[in-house]
């Protein structure tokens, strides 16, 4: 048989667990502001105090953003205007196809085929 020191009674264990849970709840609910000279330690990003940016810093960020957007616009414009050089064969094929289509269209829209 095991002794009572090794396995405490279930009621005792339950009471200790409840006390520990209350302590943990109190620690988690504690939302106190740290003293100014108290080290913050590791805090999640959303709990860190915000530092307002200086005007120079804001202007610099906006300048960078404007430059990025303008650069993207230039790239987009260049991409739209640039045409890849097509091979000569491909161009001849397209021209011939266009010619055939034009001839067929003329025939289709005329009543010549009825005769």
Predicted confidence (pLDDT) per residue in 24-75, tens digit: 877 777 665 656 666 667 778 787 778 889 999 999 999 999 999 999 999 8
**C-beta of residue 34 within 8 angstroms of C-beta of residue 40:** yes
Residue 71 CA to residue 65 CA, distance in Å, equals 10
Mean pLDDT of 87-111: 72
Q: Distance between CA 13 and CA 19 in Å, rounded?
A: 10
Burial grade of 2 (CB within 10 A; 0-12, 13-18, 19 or more): exposed
- pLDDT at position 59 is 96
User: How does the average pLDDT of the chain come out, rounded?
Assistant: 77
Q: What percent of the chain has pLDDT over 90?
A: 19
């Amino acid at each position: 048989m095991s002794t009572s020191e090794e396995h405490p009674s279930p009621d005792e264990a339950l009471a200790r667990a409840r006390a520990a849970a209350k302590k943990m709840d109190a620690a988690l609910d504690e939302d106190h502001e740290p003293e100014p000279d108290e080290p913050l330690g590791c805090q999640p990003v959303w709990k860190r105090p915000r530092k307002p940016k200086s005007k120079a810093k804001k202007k610099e960020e906006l300048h960078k953003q404007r430059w990025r957007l303008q650069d993207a616009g230039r790239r987009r414009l260049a991409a739209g205007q640039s045409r890849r050089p097509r091979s000569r064969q491909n161009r001849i094929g397209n021209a011939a196809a266009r010619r055939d289509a034009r001839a067929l269209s003329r025939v289709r829209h005329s009543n010549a085929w009825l005769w």
